[in-house]
């Protein structure tokens, strides 16, 4: 049986059960309490059973009249937000955004596809943008073609802010600045910089050094363009490769992962046109890396195992 979901928007601060009583006056209070008890009420993406859960203006409350909401769990993905049109996740490193010629299953796309089909076998999921396999952080997926096409066709206008955190080997000079180059790709699928406009596509990266602790520095990075491997190549160009990035000149792999994380994502909702803003904490492994003061090793065996997110 497909889900039958009613959605309500919160107008002012209140408690969840009081809000449900006011929003569903046609239902007996005992029935409303049963819905809450049996995990049939969700605030945003997460089912809630706590009667006094605090609500803020703009929150979305969904009530499933058919059955309990499925609690999404996967060790490589954290569900950050979900509504009828989009899903926002925090993707773990080491996980492909979508399949390729060699890998079809076990990607962020395939995992979310199975999740949405639990509600209705006809449900679909659509990829909007990608993160490199070894980059962790925020991604948005569409749940219908209208949302997908709106986001993809207006990406540069609808995405208001994308910020990354990177831990580099060395501190760039100057500590804050903008780096521009044209990026091209060779036959080995390796991206490189060129000064020839007819050979590559313009890439613009803005960065700020947040803190440094020899031999590492933590940078906040913003993209004016979203080219493949853009941050990784530009950091290497500045002789400050990202820690763990052997493909683009990194020497160390102390935390056994690429030290690049998509931390902040702010965009216009493709259907409601509301501004959506999401941010994740600094990965704890990045903080540990900044406290490592030993000289960079010449080489180090790559990790063959991934922890969850840190």
> Residues, the chain, total?
310
Comparison of pLDDT for 60 and 208, the residue scoring more: 208
224 given a catalytic annotation: no
Which of the four CATH numbers 3.60.21.10, 3.40.50.2000, 3.30.2350.10, 1.20.210.10 does domain 72-153 have?
Answer: 3.30.2350.10
User: pLDDT (tens digit, 9 = 90+) per residue, 132-169?
Assistant: 999 999 999 999 999 999 999 999 899 999 999 999 99
Domain formed by 1-69, architecture: Roll (3.10)
CB 233 within 8 A of CB 183: yes
**In sequence order, which residues have a C-beta less than 8 Å from that of residue 4 and are 6 or more positions away?**
64, 65, 66
Q: Is the pLDDT of residue 111 over 70?
A: yes
Residue 295 has pLDDT above 60, yes or no: no
Annotated domain spans of the chain: 1-69, 72-153, 160-269+282-290
Residue 51 near residue 15, CB atoms below 8 Å = yes
Count the Cβ atoms, other than its own, within 10 Å of residue 240: 24
Q: How confident is the model at residue 46 (pLDDT cuts 50, 70, 90)?
A: confident
Its pTM stands at 0.79
Which position has the higher pLDDT, 158 or 303?
158
d(C-alpha 136, C-alpha 96), whole Å: 10
Catalytic residue among 83, 132, 134, 245: 132
Per-residue confidence (pLDDT) for residue 15, from 0 to 100: 96
For domain 160-269+282-290, give the CATH number: 3.30.2350.10
Please give the residue that has the higher pLDDT: either 304 or 186: 186
Per CATH, 72-153 and 160-269+282-290 having the same topology is answered yes
Concatenate the DSSP letters of all residues of 170-234 into one string: S--SSSEEEEEEEEEE-TTS-EEEES-TTTSEEEEEEEEEEEEETTEEEEEEEESS--TTHHHHH
Within a 13 Å sphere around the CA of 6, how many CA atoms are in the beta-carbon half?
A: 12
Mean pLDDT of 215-238: 94
């Amino acid at each position: 049986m497909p889900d039958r979901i009613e959605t309500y928007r919160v107008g002012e601060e209140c408690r969840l059960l009081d809000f449900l009583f006011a929003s569903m006056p046609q239902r007996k209070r005992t029935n409303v309490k049963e819905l809450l008890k049996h995990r049939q009420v969700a605030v945003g993406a997460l089912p809630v059973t706590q009667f006094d859960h605090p609500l803020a203006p703009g929150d979305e409350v969904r009530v499933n009249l058919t059955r309990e909401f499925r609690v999404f769990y996967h060790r490589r993905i954290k569900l950050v937000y979900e509504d009828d049109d989009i899903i926002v996740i925090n993707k773990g490193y080491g996980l492909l955004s979508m399949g390729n010629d060699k890998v079809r299953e076990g990607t962020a796309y395939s995992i979310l596809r199975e999740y949405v089909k639990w509600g209705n076998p006809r449900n679909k999921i659509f990829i909007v943008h990608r993160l490199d396999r070894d980059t962790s952080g925020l991604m948005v997926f569409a749940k219908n073609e209208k949302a997908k096409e709106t986001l993809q066709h207006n990406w540069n206008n609808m995405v208001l802010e994308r910020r990354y955190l990177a831990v580099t080997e060395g501190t760039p000079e100057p500590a804050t600045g903008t780096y521009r180059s044209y990026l091209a790709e060779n036959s080995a699928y390796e991206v490189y910089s060129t000064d020839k406009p007819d050979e590559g596509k313009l890439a613009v990266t803005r960065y700020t050094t947040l803190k440094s602790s020899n031999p590492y520095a933590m940078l906040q990075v913003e993209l004016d363009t979203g080219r493949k491997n853009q941050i990784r190549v530009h950091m290497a160009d500045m002789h400050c490769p990202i820690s763990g990035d052997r493909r683009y000149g990194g020497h160390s792999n102390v935390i056994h992962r690429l030290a690049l994380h998509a931390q902040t994502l702010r965009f216009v909702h493709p259907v409601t046109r509301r501004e959506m803003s999401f941010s994740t904490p600094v990965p704890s492994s990045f903080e540990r890396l900044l406290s490592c003061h030993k000289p960079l090793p010449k080489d180090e065996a790559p990790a063959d195992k991934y922890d969850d997110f840190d």
